[in-house]
């Protein structure tokens, strides 16, 4: 077994649930997907120490080093609180657990129960249809976040390289073996540093979850559009989305939401329709408490679909029931609206509520990186 330690550049902006000194990124390399029939040949970790990010890699330079890789990694992991990985819940962690069992290592000592597991893939997956990427592979997400890497190969392609590595050692061609070893280590190294850098994508998932706090939020009328601008507690490269009736832009620490204004007549539906009468001629509903002034032949018991009053004004779509009153074109219309008046766009709390629901519940949003 070889142990390779390196210093690396990189910054961590996203706040994980522990200090960065207690944060451990990890990734493994294997010769296949099944722990029964495949070998574990590399475990790599990235951690913060002495004011810099560092990597440590345990590399199997022979097929008898698996147990040493496992014991070294688990011993090192004890000093950390949070374990960050990409799809590790599905592959890396179960693979290592099965390998520990194969080598009859104590399950009480060699397990992941003492550390909090954070799977980046699992956090991103719920938003797969709202990020403009062809898939959720790590390299694809790195490209989405404008992260460049030196490594050019996939983990699958490197299986053949590892086999060639051992063939070169058997032939005594140490120079060729060292060149292949560099490629194997580079792929794992770039996976680790890539995770560190593209973890900023979690700012976007938090934004789409509606869990981000906004500061200095303001609303503006601009021609036939309503613009909301707010400061974000983080800074990112440019991202955008444009839809049929709305758009949003992220640039640095500023979020801008643009909504087209609908200038029309809409209906407000009363929920307690059993307490109302519908007046067909006037096409409106009135409360039973004042119905005595209307001849019985001009009124009828209201139903859910016609218990409304109509109002003409300026409206924008709304994605939450927390802002009232809500208007619709018809009872069964899925799109709801709120009246756009000064009382709304000068109320910071309502603007925050509106933007959070807009981001969380608007399934049309498809974020794309903006390139000049």
pLDDT tens figures, 186-229: 999 999 999 999 999 999 999 999 999 999 999 998 889 999 99
Distance CA 225, CA 138 (A): 38
Element containing residue 252 per DSSP (H, E): strand 246-260
Are the C-beta atoms of 86 and 27 separated by less than 8 Å?
yes
What's the whole-number mean pLDDT along residues 297-313? 96
SS3 108: coil
Structural domains of the chain, ranges and CATH numbers in brackets: 2-204 (3.30.420.10), 214-270+307-372 (no CATH)
- pLDDT of 305: 97
Residues 6+ apart with CB under 8 A from 180: 161, 162, 164, 165, 168
Model confidence band, residue 287 (pLDDT cutoffs 50, 70, 90)? very high
Question: Is the model's pLDDT at 372 over the cut of 80?
Answer: no
Task: Say what the pTM is.
Answer: 0.90
Region of residue 45 (phi > 0: left; psi between -120 and 50: alpha; otherwise: beta): beta
Model confidence band, residue 154 (pLDDT cutoffs 50, 70, 90)? confident
Kindly report which listed range (95-99, 174-178, 249-253, 368-372) carries the lowest average pLDDT score: 368-372
- Backbone φ, ψ for residue 132 (5° rounding): -80, 75
- pLDDT of 156: 85
Helix axes 155-171, 174-198, angle to 10 degrees: 160
What's the whole-number mean pLDDT along residues 76-101? 97
Question: Is the model's pLDDT at 344 over the cut of 90?
Answer: no
- pLDDT tens for each residue of 107-122: 889 999 999 999 999 9
What's the whole-number mean pLDDT along residues 329-352? 91
- pLDDT tens for each residue of 3-13: 999 999 888 99
Question: Is the model's pLDDT at 351 over the cut of 90?
Answer: yes
Looking at the chain, the whole-number percentage of residues with pLDDT higher than 70 is 100
Element containing residue 240 per DSSP (H, E): strand 225-242
Q: How far is CA 308 from CA 263, 268, 289, 311, 367, in A?
A: 19, 5, 16, 10, 37
Q: Which two tokens stand for residue 263?
A: 């200038």
Q: How far is CA 265 from CA 216, 338, 339, in A?
A: 32, 12, 11
Question: Is the model's pLDDT at 138 over the cut of 80?
Answer: yes
- pLDDT of 41: 95
- pLDDT of 120: 98
Model confidence band, residue 309 (pLDDT cutoffs 50, 70, 90)? very high
Are the C-beta atoms of 110 and 70 separated by less than 8 Å?
yes
* Distance, C-alpha 52 to centroid of its chain: 26
What's the whole-number mean pLDDT along residues 53-80? 95
In the DSSP assignment, the letter for residue 261 is: P
- pLDDT of 230: 97
- pLDDT of 193: 95
- pLDDT of 285: 97
Q: Which two tokens stand for residue 355?
A: 């933007």
SS3 258: strand
- pLDDT of 199: 95
What's the whole-number mean pLDDT along residues 261-290? 96
- pLDDT of 352: 93
């Amino acid at each position: 077994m070889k142990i390779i330690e390196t210093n690396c550049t990189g910054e961590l902006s996203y706040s994980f649930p522990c200090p960065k000194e207690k944060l451990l990124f990890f990734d493994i390399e294997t010769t296949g997907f099944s722990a029964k029939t495949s070998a574990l040949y590399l475990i790599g970790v990235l951690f913060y120490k002495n004011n810099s990010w560092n990597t440590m890699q345990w590399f199997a330079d022979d097929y008898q080093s698996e147990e040493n890789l496992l014991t070294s990694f688990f011993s090192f992991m004890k000093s950390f609180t949070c374990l960050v990985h990409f799809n590790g819940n599905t592959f890396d962690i179960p693979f290592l657990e099965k390998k520990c069992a194969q080598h009859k290592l104590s399950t009480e000592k060699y397990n992941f129960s003492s550390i909090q597991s954070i799977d980046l893939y699992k956090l991103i997956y719920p938003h797969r249809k709202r990020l403009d990427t062809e898939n959720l592979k790590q390299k694809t997400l790195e490209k989405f976040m404008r992260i460049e890497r030196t490594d050019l190969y996939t983990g699958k392609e490197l299986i053949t390289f590892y086999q060639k590595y051992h063939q070169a050692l058997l032939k005594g061609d140490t120079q060729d073996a060292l060149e292949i070893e560099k490629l194997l280590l580079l792929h794992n190294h770039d996976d680790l540093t890539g995770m560190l850098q593209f973890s900023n994508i979690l700012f976007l998932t938090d934004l789409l979850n509606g869990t981000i706090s906004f500061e200095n939020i303001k609303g503006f009328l601009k021609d036939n559009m309503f613009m909301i601008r707010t400061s974000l507690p983080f800074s990112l490269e440019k991202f955008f989305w444009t839809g049929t009736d709305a758009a949003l832009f992220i640039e640095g620490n500023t979020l801008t939401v643009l909504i087209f204004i609908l200038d029309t007549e809409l209906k407000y539906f009363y929920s307690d329709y059993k307490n109302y009468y519908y007046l067909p001629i006037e096409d409106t509903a009135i409360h039973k408490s004042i119905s005595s002034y209307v001849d019985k032949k001009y009124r009828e018991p209201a139903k859910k679909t016609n218990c409304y009053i109509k109002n003409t004004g300026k409206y924008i779509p709304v994605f939450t029931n927390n802002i009232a009153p809500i208007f619709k074109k018809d009872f069964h219309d899925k799109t709801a609206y709120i009246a756009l008046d000064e009382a709304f766009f000068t109320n910071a709390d309502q603007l925050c509520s509106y933007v959070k629901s807009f981001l969380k519940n608007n399934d049309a949003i498809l974020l794309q990186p903006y390139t000049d």
